[in-house]
Structure 1
Amino acid sequence: MDDTVTVRRNITVLTAAQALGGSSAPIVMSLGGLVGQQLADNPAWVTLPVSLFGLGLAIGTLPAAFVMRAWGRRGGYLFGALFGLAAGLIAAFGIFVSSFLLFCVGCFTAGLYGSYVQSYRFAAADAAEGALKARAISWVMVGGLIAAVIGPQLVIWTRDSFPGTPYVGSFLSQAALPLLSIPILLMLRTPQSASQSASESSGRSLIQILMMPRYMLAVAAGVVSYGLMAFVMTAAPIAMVNTGHSVDSAALGIQWHLLAMFAPSFVTGRLMTRFGKERVTAAGMLLIAVSAIVALAGLELINFWGSLAIMGIGWNFSFIGATAMVTDCHTPGERAKAQGANDFMVFGTTAAVSFLAGSVLHNSGWAAINWLLFPPVALILVPLLWQAARKPQA
């Protein structure tokens, strides 16, 4: 099969897989803190399940890269689906027996599954060239738009399906999602040019790649965009419920946030082609700052939903832009180490800041969460704009 045809086929397959696999995260994000409130003895631990999801995501990135290098993308993704199945079953059982520890283990395992799902965006760019590379990443992220509907709606439809034990049904539905993705992932094909890269030299060492200013800027942009988004989204459902809004309103707020995260993917690739990756990433950072301003303006539902929606758009521009910047910094033979190191740093930092979210929210409130967004955004904007000025083309 022609490489271009294979690449386009894989984009379709991975978009569908992203729609199912990506639905797992919003279930954890929407309910992790609320179940934590229900099961945790210490109020400061209520966001621990969401934080452990992020930790699993971080810890799983390098092993996932190793598995995919040894078994190929398809074999690795099928193996990863087993983590997704186990995650939902363990979390559901933890809620059923009122075990905070088991629920946390389930959320951590969901993070391990997420480390495979997150690499779908890189798999889409395998063997793609030129503008198709950025658009491939962007299109796979469109699958997240579908996930943004599936995940929160599953929460709403299934959270009371087991009388007396709310949310068990939601996590059982989470377990079903990776099973549905398996026949789709079986259709994934490795482009010839990508498979040939396995026999090529491994290229530069990881240390040499890490010494590249452009690579580290791309990683830093991914760290800031994903870290700040997770920091806010971890605390937002709890803040909404604690200020008098309903659980359904909190779930819908996360849904609006997720829709905003992925809906711009229809055009993000074209924007990067026209304006450059750095400019689009910088625009996303500015929108993240705007989201904090909207959140600080009040505690009405419109403030929560509006800030989460703007945050989502900002994340889309900044994170997809950062991902595309990473793909410009390595050869096919360096792909596993460069992409694995990027995701480890991005999701490791994300896990660290999400651990802090519960404590900051409990001790200092929702306003403090949002005030803390401004310094990292300012720090990353300067080098991004400088790089954009030096490199006008994408």
Structure 2
Amino acid sequence: MATLPVMGYVVGGAFSTSIVAKSQNYFGRKISFQLGLLVAMLSALLCAYAAVSKNFWLLVMGTFIAGYYSANGQLYRFAAAELTDIKQRDKAVSWVLAGGILGAVIGPNLASWTRDLFDTAFLGAYLTLSIAGFIGIFVMQFIHFPQELKTQHSLSDGRPLSVILRQPVFVVAIIGAALGYGVMNLLMAATPLAMQICGLPFSDTALVLEWHVIGMFAPGFFTGSLIQRFGTLKIMGVGVLLNFICIAIALTGTDLHQFFIALFLLGVGWNFLFTGATSLAMTAYQPNERDKAQAAINFFVFGTMAFTSFGSGALVTSHGWSILNWGSLIPVAITGLALYWLAQQRKNSQAPA
């Protein structure tokens, strides 16, 4: 039951992808992003009221509604790429993800500092979160989105979504983003429970998760440059390799250093896969197909996250940490095979007739 509010946030994001695509198409980037931040404000206030009234299901509803903001937030990386020169798009995506370091540091500390401001636990955290949403709306007002980048067209324009989805490059982009996120979410969400079961103190868990998040976002300062130098598929391949190494280390034991190294590598592997998948996806659609294509890839990401969020706790408590890691080898292997398949497709298409 304790994981339901988190799952509500992820499922809400999955259900909101099509609505967000329509709002992005109709209002353009700026207004749509501001609407998302407004929803973040209102949902935080709803969660605050749920905390005061001790209404668990209202809390779940609040996090579900907040998923609309999350679905908008997943488009920031695409918007950044569209605002830059085509040669710098990989770096733009990478730097947006690097900005997650700020969230990783400010978010947990903000929750910790404001948790007990009032008699009701976490009321201060939710109220502070609503203020953060307001600040986001204010900051967004100063970002200039060129008029030509607003699609202002019907979502039926361009090729049908089914045609876009059948492209090998788009299939691999979806697999890389969704399964990369899924494996990361599955192991990360289960880590606190696994470490508790193994008798490790909460301070150790906090240290492991802190460095995991650093591993997720710190590479963003140079992932784009690596993609430009070595190519998208090679960097995504390194991400798959890091996931394999992460699982191998996790299977060697349950001491602090094994959790620490495994989760750090898991974060870096996710960064390489997710940044690469985003860059790959942008080569598979035309500007007038942007909204439906981006909504599709985000739907698969959120759907996978919802499944892994729901299953991680149950799997680790019923089958154990080792079984969870063995099972994670399957999606990692699928991702690796997908990358190899696309590389062969490109090699064959470039071969002389």
Give the TM-score, by structure 1 length.
0.81
Paired residue secondary structure (1:202):
coil
User: CA offsets per residue over residues 3-35 of structure 1, 9 Å max, x none?
Assistant: xxxxxxxxxxxxxxxxxxxxxxxxxxxxxxxxx
> Superposed, which structure 2 residues align to 1:7-86 within 5 Å?
45-86=1-42
The reply to whether residue 287 of structure 1 matches residue 242 of structure 2 is yes
> Contact 1:156–1:248 at 8 Å: present in 2 too?
no
Paired residue type of 2:271: N
Cα distance between partner residues in 2 of 1:151 and 1:169 = 13
Distance 1:132 1:252, change over 3 A: same
Kept in 2, the 8 Å contact 1:289–1:373? The answer is no
Q: Secondary structure at the match of 1:204?
A: coil
**Corresponding residue of 1:172:** 127
Return the match for 1:317 from 248, 254, 272: 272
Match of residue 39 from structure 1:
none
The answer for the alignment partner of 2:64 in structure 1 is 108
Cα distance between partner residues in 2 of 1:242 and 1:160: 28
Partner of 2:310: 355
Give the secondary structure class of the aligned counterpart of 1:264. Answer: helix
Greater alpha carbon shift after TM alignment, 109-118 vs 203-212:
109-118
Deviation at 1:283, TM superposition (A): 1.0
Are the structure 2 counterparts of residues 261 and 337 from structure 1 closer, same or farther at C-alpha, using a change threshold of 3 Å?
same
> Residues 128-167 of structure 1: CA distance to partner in whole angstroms, max 9, x if unpaired?
443211111111112111111111222332334445x544
Distance 1:278 1:241, change over 3 A: same
Cα distance in 1, alignment partners of residues 267 and 115 from structure 2: 25
- Where in structure 2 are there 5+ consecutive unaligned residues? 348-353
Conserved in 2, the CA contact under 8 Å of 1:279 and 1:385? no
SS at match of 1:372: helix
CA distance in 1, matches of 2:322, 2:6: 20
Deviations 1:158-203 (A, max 9, x none): 334445x5444333333332122111111122224423x5469921
In the other structure, the counterpart of 1:186 is: 141
Q: Distance in 2 between matches of 1:199 and 1:52?
A: 32
The one-letter amino acid of 2:304's match is: T
Aligned partner (choices 111, 122, 136) of residue 155 of structure 1: 111
Separation of aligned partners in 2, 1:171 and 1:233: 24
Question: How much has 1:101 moved relative to structure 2?
Answer: 1.5
In structure 1, give the amino acid aligned to 2:108: P
Match of 2:74 in 1: 118
Question: Which residue of structure 1 aligns with residue 329 of structure 2?
Answer: 374
Matched, 1:131 2:87: yes
Give TM-score, length-normalised by structure 2. 0.90
Instruction: Identify the match of residue 231 of structure 2 among 276, 279, 292.
Output: 276
Amino acid at match of 1:376: P
Q: What CA distance in whole angstroms lies between the structure 2 residues aligned with 1:285 and 1:92?
A: 40
Alpha-carbon distance in 1 for matches of 2:57, 2:302: 22
1:138–1:373 CA distance, 2 compared to 1 (3 A): same
Aligned to 2:211: 256
CA RMSD of aligned residues (A): 2.3
Gap change, CA 1:161 and 1:301, over 3 Å in 2:
farther
What letter corresponds to residue 343 of structure 1 in structure 2?
Answer: N
Q: Deviations over 1:274-332 (max 9, x none)?
A: 11111111211221222222333333333333222111100000011001100000110
User: Which of 212, 237, 249 is residue 192 of structure 2 equivalent to?
Assistant: 237
Counterpart residue identity of residue 99, structure 1? N
C-alpha distance in 2 between matches for 1:238 and 1:176:
32
Displacement of 1:253 = 3.2
- Paired residues, what number? 346
In structure 1, the residue matched to 2:351 is none
Distance in 1 (alpha carbons) for counterparts of 2:115 and 2:261: 25
Residue 251 of structure 2 aligns with which residue? Answer: 296
- Whether the aligned pair in 2 keeps the contact of 1:279 and 1:388 (CA below 8 Å) is no
Deviation at 1:248, TM superposition (A): 4.9
Report the residue type matching 2:245 in the other structure. V
Could you tell me how far 1:242 is from its partner in structure 2? 4.2
Verify the 8 A CA contact 2:235 2:272 in the aligned structure 1: yes
Identity across matched positions, percent: 37
